Amino acid sequence: MKKKILSLLLVLSSLFALFATTVHGQDEGQAVPYSVQALLPDNQVNDQVSYFDIEMEPGASQALEVDVFNSSSEEIKVAVETNFGASNSNGIITYDGTIEEYDDSMEAPFDEISRVYEEEITIAPEDSKRAIIDVDIPEEGFNGQILGGIFFRLIDDEENDGQAEGEEEAGLGFENEYAYVVGVNIVQADPEEDGDQDQAWADKKSVEEIDPELELNWVEADLINYQTGVDAEFANKTPVLVEGVNFHAYVTQVGSEEVLYEREVDNFSIGPNNVFKFPVLFNQEPLEPGDYTYHANLSNEEEDWEFSQDFTITEVQSEELNEQAVELDDGWNWTAIAIGAIVLVLILILVIVFLLRKLQAK
């Protein structure tokens, strides 16, 4: 009898284990072994900030300098690169080069008018080294502002051995990077000598003279990080940074006012001449064939923009994308089912224990 009871309890315990959750611990983060500091030049517009906010004349050249400090007890290597400021889908301006596309209206991408003097610098323990970035403004000048960043990244030993690069290309792992960015904002300064006003730079407009112009390029059903939704690409056609935007997008069926899915982000930033996306997820629901409309309302203290564009989800799209999607909601509430199963198992255990005790009492 005891053996039968033990066997029954083992089976029930195994069933209960199917709904158990495993929690994995995380290692505590280590201190960043280096830091950076920009050396602000004489043509700095705002000396109350820690990044480069400078005026440069058409055709001018300038060296931007940043000190890199190694606070560790070991030699380190730091990679240095320049990138234009690019908005991601959350409205954050990034400078790490992961976003490569920009609008055709961009006159002078920062990574194309700048050159890093030394792309990899080696710094002795508790020492410092100066990174130098040369910037060359086109002779014809530019409209608005040029927004970019100087990106610093710690190079680990595995990357030096070529192992990390191979893993990244194969998509087998991830890299824990220690990175810094020093922002660079450049506006055009009028030449000290006025010269010929017929020159190209004389017709260039300042940031204050430009009204932001946004466009909706395209809309399509897609997977966003393997989740069903609709993706939309926008473009800033003007060389000005648009900040403090309330971005609200939603999806309806064509001709309907009922909101099926929506997304809203406050304090959204749009870089000069950026191309960026603003997807709306479908709450892990399958893509259903049909005709839909993507709506977007954007506003800040100065401007308001409204966009809408129809798109179609075909039967083929629906089948292909739903098959590739993860965690689709199939209509079953698996959490409730799991909890119910656990409760039933516990009740079953109590009933069995009660009956066994009753039999033993007889």
Per-residue model confidence as pLDDT tens digits over 349-362: 888 887 877 777 76
Residues 152 and 272 in one domain: no
Residue 352 lies in a domain: no
Q: What pLDDT is attached to residue 329?
A: 63
Looking at every residue in the chain, the average pLDDT score rounds to 86
This prediction has a pTM of: 0.78
Residues 269 and 147 in one domain: no
Residues 133 and 218 in one domain: no
Residue 300 lies in a domain: yes
Residues 227 and 204 in one domain: no
d(CA 213, CA 22): 50
Residue 121 lies in a domain: yes
* Secondary structure letter of residue 202 according to DSSP: G
Residues 60 and 184 in one domain: yes
d(CA 158, CA 179): 17
pLDDT digits (tens, 9 = 90+) for 314-325: 999 999 999 999
Split into its structural domains, the chain has a count of: 2
d(CA 195, CA 127): 47
For residue 171, pLDDT beyond 50:
no
Q: Is residue 333 very low, low, confident or very high in pLDDT (cuts 50, 70, 90)?
A: low
Residues 182 and 232 in one domain: no
Q: What pLDDT is attached to residue 68?
A: 98
Q: What pLDDT is attached to residue 349?
A: 87
| Section 167-189 average pLDDT | 69
Q: Which helix (H) or strand (E) holds 354?
A: helix 334-361
Residues 185 and 225 in one domain: no
For residue 331, pLDDT beyond 70:
no
Residues 130 and 248 in one domain: no
Which candidate, 224, 241, 246, 234, places its Cα nearest to that of 324? 224
- Who wins on pLDDT, 25 or 101? 101
Residue 97 lies in a domain: yes
Task: Please answer whether residues 92 and 49 qualify as being in contact, where contact means their C-beta atoms are separated by less than 8 angstroms.
Answer: no
Residue 5 lies in a domain: no
Q: Is residue 205 very low, low, confident or very high in pLDDT (cuts 50, 70, 90)?
A: very high
Percent share of the chain, pLDDT over 70: 80
Q: What pLDDT is attached to residue 339?
A: 82
Q: How many Cα atoms occupy the beta-carbon half-sphere of 200 within 13 Å?
A: 8
- Who wins on pLDDT, 99 or 161? 99
Domain enclosing residue 255, as ranges:
212-324
Residues 312 and 218 in one domain: yes
For residue 6, pLDDT beyond 80:
no
CB count within 10 Å of CB 8 equals: 15
Residue 165 lies in a domain: no
Task: Please answer whether residues 114 and 135 qualify as being in contact, where contact means their C-beta atoms are separated by less than 8 angstroms.
Answer: yes
What CATH number is given to the structural domain containing 218? 2.60.40.10
Q: Which two tokens stand for residue 6?
A: 């033990």
Residues 133 and 44 in one domain: yes
Residue 102 lies in a domain: yes
Residues 204 and 221 in one domain: no
Residue 358 lies in a domain: no
Residues 109 and 220 in one domain: no
